[in-house]
Amino acid sequence: GAVVSQHPSRVICKSGTSVKIECRSLDFQATTMFWYRQFPKQSLMLMATSNEGSKATYEQGVEKDKFLINHASLTLSTLTVTSAHPEDSSFYICSAALAGSYNEQFFGPGTRLTVL
């Protein structure tokens, strides 16, 4: 089956620094990738939809200047949390989809971000 990886799996950083999270589709080309955030005991919240070669579409309430998304290739999307603060601490999950077919989204294992 299709595999999506994320790197790093967990990261701890100081307040004010920027953190980059990578999402890769390992064995298929993903024209669309999605980024989610999940707080403890809560459901996944869609942050943005990322299409290869174009600007990401952000959900209402998500700051595009704070959460920078780059989908430069068909196998890689990156999420950069700029000037991270403790309230940005969360579990970030990406998923990838293959366009043009009836297909489920393939989710990555997630990245645990802790901002001190």
Considering only 29, 73, 83, 103, the residue that binds other proteins (CB under 8 A) is 103
Considering only 78, 108, 113, 115, the residue that binds other proteins (CB under 8 A) is 108
Contact between residue 34 and residue 48 where contact means Cβ atoms under 8 Å apart: yes
Distance, in Å, from the CA atom of 64 to the CA atom of 43, rounded to the nearest integer, reads 21
What character string, x for contact with other proteins (CB under 8 A) and - otherwise, covers 78-97? -------------x-x-x-x
- Say which residues have a Cβ less than 8 Å from residue 41's Cβ, sequence separation at least 6: none
**70 is a contact residue toward other proteins (CB under 8 A):** no
Min dist CB 106 to other proteins, Å, is 8
Q: Which is nearer to other proteins, 44 or 82 (CB)?
A: 44
Contact between residue 47 and residue 36 where contact means Cβ atoms under 8 Å apart: yes
The residues in 39-68 that bind other proteins, with binding defined as CB under 8 A, are 43-46, 49
Considering only 69, 81, 98, 115, the residue that binds other proteins (CB under 8 A) is 98
Distance, in Å, from the CA atom of 39 to the CA atom of 58, rounded to the nearest integer, reads 18
Contact between residue 112 and residue 11 where contact means Cβ atoms under 8 Å apart: yes
